[in-house]
Chains A and B, each alone.
Chain A
Amino acid sequence: MKVGLFIPCYIDQFYPQVGIATLQLLEKLGCDVGFPTNQTCCGQPMGNSGCEKDSAKTAQLFVENFKDYDYIVGPTASCVGYVKEHYNIIEQTVAVSHVRRHIYDLSEFLLDVLKIEKLDVSFPYKVGLHQSCHGLREMRLGASSELNVTYFSKQRQLLEMVNGLEFIELDRTDECCGFGGTFCVSEEAVSAKMGKDRVADHQRNGAQVITGGDVSCLMHLEGVIRRQGTGIKVLHLAEIFNGATI
């Protein structure tokens, strides 16, 4: 099974440790992982800003980089979702549809493809899960609170495999953090307020660590936390699953 590792631009530049954890975790679980070194971005920033035509070449480059892998896995549901849902902007060649059908967010890859049932790590802290909106409502990695369906959360299911981890319940289980791509600067006031409220929910409920499957949300929350100096740690799920300590 050849797995292509997709490391989105902002993880590549600012959160390499998340990429490293993802790579090491996949290798530990027996995957033959390749990292196409010419990858850049999925194209979402342009698309969400209304300029999806400007992301067509980026999309083509993405497909070129990943078309020969059996699976493509990335530690971020938002970017993975963009490839899956929005790559109709380019011609639907065999390669494009292969990539769109075989790209997975890390959590769903671990559960649905690798079908793991245990994780041999411990993380003895109180952890709050920020379920990113694109993961939840585009990728359906869990049941959103609006729907009247049986509850499930792939990310939570995985966290429950971690020894010693204490899962804290939030007042608002799946409220948006306010990042929203370019929204974070074009609507700075609302975005920052949402981030602040999201952090406060975790803090109120005793979280020592905030985790999630999307680095964009985590980057935003971490920015708020560092400004406030509250000291809550922010880690991506991959880092916890790969045995990180704080």
Chain B
Amino acid sequence: MMSEHANKASAFIRDEGRTDWHDQALWFVRKKRDIQTKKVDEWETLREIASGIKANVLANLDTYLLQFEENALKNGAQVHWAKDAAEHNEIILNILRSKGVKKMVKSKSMLTEECHLNPYLIENGIEVVDTDLGERIVQLRNEPPSHIVLPAIHLKKEDVGETFYQYLHSEKGASDPKYLTEVARKHLREKFLAADAALTGVNFAVADTGGFTVCTNEGNADLGAHLAPIHIASMGIEKLIPKQEHLGVFLRMLARNATGQPITSFSSHFIKPREGQELHVVIVDNKRSEQLGRADFRKSLYCIRCGACLNTCPVYRRSGGHSYSYIIPGPIGSILSPGVDLKKHSAMPFASTLCGSCSDVCPVKIDIHHQLYKWRQIVAEQGDFPAVKKISMKMMGFLFAHPSLYRITGKMGRVAVKIMPRFLLYSKLNAWGIKREVPQAPPQSFREWYLSQEKYKHK
């Protein structure tokens, strides 16, 4: 009856040393984030403002999208609309084909991962190279990213050395980060220079200018977009902010909350194509408007993809990004994915203790753990929910609504714990007992004790 997440998480944890290392690597980022955010006195006010800006955007999304399109066209960009992943991929392939592009470099974009753009383009004869270092590492290994900001956080430097040895012919057994970075740099330089087109994501699209901002720590988005004759930018419809001045709020928060840096190393503002260059913006819905229509889950579209909820999530840290069924793992992925495919992602709202750290760490104040709770109610009714669990919850509900039945069952349970031989109590049927002792059974329940006391007897 274990869910897919529970199974994969359990496999991940089997290597306990590696689990500890993964947990500590992410906790290190969370600690850096705490230090940086606490240096900003008005941090909580910024969160409030950012959340308000996003609320306004989503309430007037049609207006802002049209305003953005109008301004982007005026700037000389070409704007495309894609209702889903398939349309997004087709639009991009058509642009590339019409210009005879054979090689494209990409900077980090979770949206293109969501749309499975890479395999689609590769099948259609285009060489696609991810240029973010972490992305490139997982691309070489033919793995999806395990984190939305730190795509290769599940890999140790030795793993990277092995991957580079295998694919980039670096020295065997090398694990020195400086050496490995040099290898990657040399390899990527060649790819940048040879590319006929560059694709970037969009962190913030500004309605009143028609421009957009892309944040990277490696400058790879700039290198790609500034060298290639064609720049394609893929953005989800929710990436908009109304005004250029709002950027100040988000740029102060994004990197601080994501990695504990005061600001991202490169925040590049693209407004118009340079002379001779083509600039295409592809605006993608892919079920976002459906999520917008779900009042309880609308706020999930506020997300600016800082990844802080992943870093802070005690479950994510100990189960790894690949244990989740959706391309966006962790708490935010667990509230986005049921809206994409409820049956396929039914386990995700349950991959949480509802500790609420995700909601408190969120820079735009998404009530993540409350949404997880709400998704659970929907999964139980309409999703892939084990019948056994459904029946046992019904029985439990009945039990707790009938005090005398509850008391008899409680007594039986306590007696059972006391007299059951260890091999039966700690059998396969008792998941609690694999690594934990069952509570000791007291001779009396609290109620029995209470009623046995002279002073309370007649109360």
Known: A51-B393, A54-B393, A186-B3. A61 touches B401 (CB 8 A): yes
Residue-by-residue, is A142-184 near B (CB-CB < 8 Å gives 1, otherwise 0)?
0011111100000000000000000000001011101111011
Are B377 and A50 in touch, CB under 8 angstroms? Answer: yes
**Cross-interface CB contact of B445 among A13, A45, A191, cutoff 8 Å:** A13
In the complex, are the beta carbons of B435 and A46 less than 8 A apart? Answer: no
Within 8 A of A (CB), among B396-421: 396-403, 406, 410, 413-414
| A190 and B318 contacting across the interface, CB-CB below 8 Å | yes
9-residue interface stretch from A33-41, A92-100, A121-129: A33-41
A-chain residues with CB within 8 Å of residue B403 when the two chains form the complex: 38-40, 61
Q: A13 contacts B413, CB within 8 Å?
A: yes
Given the known interface contacts A20-B449, A50-B385, A179-B353, the answer about A61 and B360 at a Cβ–Cβ threshold of 8 Å is no
User: Mostly helix, strand, loop or mixed at chain A's interface?
Assistant: helix
**B332 vs chain A, min Cβ distance (A):** 15
- Contacting pair A148 B44 (CB below 8 A): yes
Q: Is A67 an interface residue (CB 8 A)?
A: no
Which one of A9, A46, A185 lies within 8 Å of B397 (CB-CB)? Answer: A46
Contact residues, A96-141 vs B (CB, 8 A): 133-134, 136-138
Q: Which residues of A contact B435 (CB under 8 A)?
A: 188, 192, 195-196, 224, 227
- Are B445 and A189 within 8 A (Cβ)? no
Question: Quick one: which of A52, A175, A179, A191 has the most chain B CB within 10 A?
Answer: A191
Query: Cβ of A190 and Cβ of B315 under 8 Å apart?
Result: yes
Chain A residues within 8 Å of B312, by CB: 146
**How far, in angstroms, from A58 to B6 measured CA to CA in the complex?**
29
Cβ of B319 under 8 Å from chain A: yes
Distance between Cα atoms of A46 and B394 in the complex (Å): 8
A205 within 8 A of partner (CB):
no
Interchain nearest-CB distance for A168 vs B (Å): 19
Interface residues on A, range: 35 or more
B92 CB → nearest A CB, Å: 38
B351 at the interface (CB under 8 A from A): yes
Within 8 Å of chain A (Cβ to Cβ): is B19? yes
Stretch at the interface among B33-41, B58-66, B217-225, B271-279: B33-41
Q: Which residue of the partner chain, among B357, B414, B436, contacts A137 with CB atoms under 8 Å?
A: B357
Q: Would A7 and B355 count as touching, CB distance under 8 A?
A: no
Is residue A69 within 8 Å, beta carbon to beta carbon, of the partner chain?
no
A185 interface neighbour in B16, B410, B432, Cβ under 8 Å: B432
Contact A49 B389 (CB under 8 A): yes
Which chain B positions have C-beta within 8 A of A34? 459
Of chain A, the residue at the smallest CB distance from B33 is A146
A219, CB-defined interface residue at 8 Å: yes
Let me know if A91 is at the binding interface, CB within 8 A: no
Contact A133 B397 (CB under 8 A): no
Say yes or no: A133 contacts B353, CB within 8 Å: yes
**Please, how many angstroms separate the alpha-carbon atoms of A134 and B401 in the complex?**
24
| Closest residue on chain A to residue B351 by CB atoms | A187
Report the Cα distance A194→B16, complex, angstroms. 12
Pair A9/B406 contact, Cβ less than 8 Å:
yes
In the assembled complex, which residues on chain B have CB atoms less than 8 Å from the CB atom of A178?
314, 353
Chain B 418-452, CB-CB to A under 8 Å as 1, else 0, gives: 00000000000001101111111110111111110
Minimal beta-carbon separation of A192 from chain B (angstroms): 4
Contact at B314–A194, with CB atoms within 8 Å?
yes
In angstroms, Cα B449 to Cα A55, docked, is: 27
Query: Could you tell me which residues of chain A, from 45 to 103, have a CB within 8 Å of some CB in chain B?
Result: 45-52, 54-58, 60-61
Nearest-Cβ distance from residue B450 to partner chain A, whole angstroms = 6
Take A147-B44, A172-B27, A187-B6 as given contacts and tell me if A223 and B438 are in contact as well, using a CB distance cutoff of 8 Å.
yes
Could you list some 12 contacts between A and B, CB below 8 A?
A9-B410, A15-B442, A16-B444, A51-B377, A51-B393, A56-B397, A58-B401, A133-B357, A145-B34, A185-B432, A187-B5, A223-B436
B interface residues with partner A (beta carbon < 8 Å): 1-3, 5-6, 9-10, 13, 16, 19, 23, 27, 34, 37-38, 40-41, 43-44, 312, 314-315, 318-319, 349-357, 359-361, 369, 373, 376-381, 385, 389-390, 393-394, 396-403, 406, 410, 413-414, 431-432, 434-442, 444-451, 456, 459
Residues of A at the B interface (CB closer than 8 Å) are 7, 9-17, 19-20, 23, 34-35, 37-41, 43, 45-52, 54-58, 60-61, 133-134, 136-138, 144-149, 172, 174-176, 178-181, 183-197, 219-220, 222-224, 226-227
Can you name 17 extra interface pairs (CB under 8 A) apart from A16-B448, A193-B19?
A14-B440, A35-B456, A37-B450, A137-B360, A144-B356, A148-B37, A148-B41, A149-B44, A176-B314, A181-B353, A183-B352, A186-B1, A187-B5, A187-B350, A190-B10, A195-B435, A224-B436
Give the 6 A-B CB pairs with smallest separation, nearest first. Answer: A180-B353, A54-B397, A223-B436, A50-B380, A137-B356, A50-B376
